[in-house]
Structures are given as C-alpha cells and as structure tokens.
Structure 1
Amino acid sequence: WFYNQTQGFNYSLQIYNATFKNVSADFFFGDGSKLTNLPSGVSYWKATATTLYNDTAGVNVGIGLANPSNKLDVNGTINFTGIQRQLGFYQNSSGFVGIGTANPQQKLEVAGNINVSGNGNNVTLGGGAIYWDDVNSRLVIKVS
C-alpha cells in the first residue's frame, strides 16, 4: 500500500505475471489478501504437514466442475491406488448386478447371506413362486 496525504492508504502495487498467473511475495503489508485479489477469509482450505482439507459447512468441492452440487463432485475418471478395498456392489457391462461378486451371471447375484425385511411378501422363481399366505399364516412354495 502507498500513502497519499490527501486520501490516505488507498493506492496499491499490483504484480501480475500474464504467462504464469502467479504472484509471490516475501514481504507485504496487511493480511496479504490483495495479492490474489481475494478478500480475507475466502480460503476454505486448511493444511497440516500431511493433509489438505476443507471443513467449511456448505462448501462443495469440484474436480473438473465449476459448480459442484455435492460435497465432492468429480467429472472424469477416478483412480484409487494404494488403498485396501473390499468388493461390495458391482454392475457389469451387461447390466448384471453383483453383491459380493465381481462377476455376476444373472440380473442379480448375491454371494453371501441375505436378510430381507419390510412389507414385500412375494418372490417369483422361474415358473414358480414362494410367498407368505397371510390368510392361512403359512409359507407357500408353488412349482410350475
């Protein structure tokens, strides 16, 4: 900032590199926010020695997006390496869905135990069916 006897501290020196679009300074007056032309308090990022993070409520992060609508929105391919993953839900190119299997051979294939709850009471298997008969309080298995 430069001091003007008539108007006070209202002139600034702006440094801009049109090629690299970077500004660096080892010495400045004030909070340094004018170096980037952002008001103070705009940076939502925090850093430790090993982590860069955003913990500001209501702020979304976009990778490849200018206006993310979720906490993290990614437009493009994601690659994870060096992490331990367990298989959960998988959908192959044929539209078959696997739970606990990466190679489903049917529309839905589950590797493991199934727990079903709720109001549904009918399962159709091929030409037959398995269902609960509420009137007679019994399990009915029909085979075609």
Structure 2
Amino acid sequence: MTKALKILLIEDDMIEVMKLNRVVSSLEIKHQTIEVNNGEEALKHLEQKDNLPDIILLDLNMPKINGIEFLSILKKDELLRYIPTIILTTSNNQKDLEECYKIGVAGYVLKPLKYEDYVSKIEKLLAYWSINELKKI
C-alpha cells in the first residue's frame, strides 16, 4: 500500500529545496516535507522524538556539519539509526559514495542536471519508499 511520507530534507541550497518541493507537490500522494538548512538544525529537529521523519534526504556538501559527519552521528544513535537516509547530491566522488555506504546509508542519488531527469529520480525514490515497510520508531 502506498502511503504519504514524512520527509526530512537537509539541504542548504534554497533552489534545491524549492526544486524538491515542486516535485513533491506535483505528486498524487501528499508527502510532508520538513526542511532544515544543515546538519546541526537536523539534529535539533530529531531531538523531538515524537515527530520523527519516515525518511531523510541528505545533501553532502553543507556548512557546519557535512553530510558524512551527520550520517555518522545519526547511525550511532540507538533510535535514529533506523531512519532510512538517502544521499541526494551532485558529488559523484567514489570516496564519498563508499564512505556513505560504509556508514549505513540507504541510498545514494546523484542530482542530474536536467530538470526532467531530476523529477523522474525523485518520483521513483519516493514511490519506492512509499511502499516500503518502515520501522516504527
């Protein structure tokens, strides 16, 4: 059964935030997106254990705490480690990819240059996680 997701988007580029929101709002399923600008804000949001997201979309290149540092902190937490975290980035650096999978990322998606390709990837990503059985935290 397809369900609406509560998505935590960790992204410091407002154009990328608007782009994702545009795609999400165009879908039949009304997902809820919570936006934070960096890893520090995300950790503060995640302290509210009664309002946890179903999935996290995480940019790698951010100020304060980068994506890999955030992912490391998240995966050490006994409760938060179960939230599927998907990297959404422009970095096709093989070391970043390997490090993210070593830490325990659920997916690594490259942001394509063409908007149509971006829409296709986001629709597929959200469709996949909408039918997944997610651990209730």
> In terms of Rg, which structure is larger?
1
Higher strand share: 1
TM-score by structure 1 length? 0.18
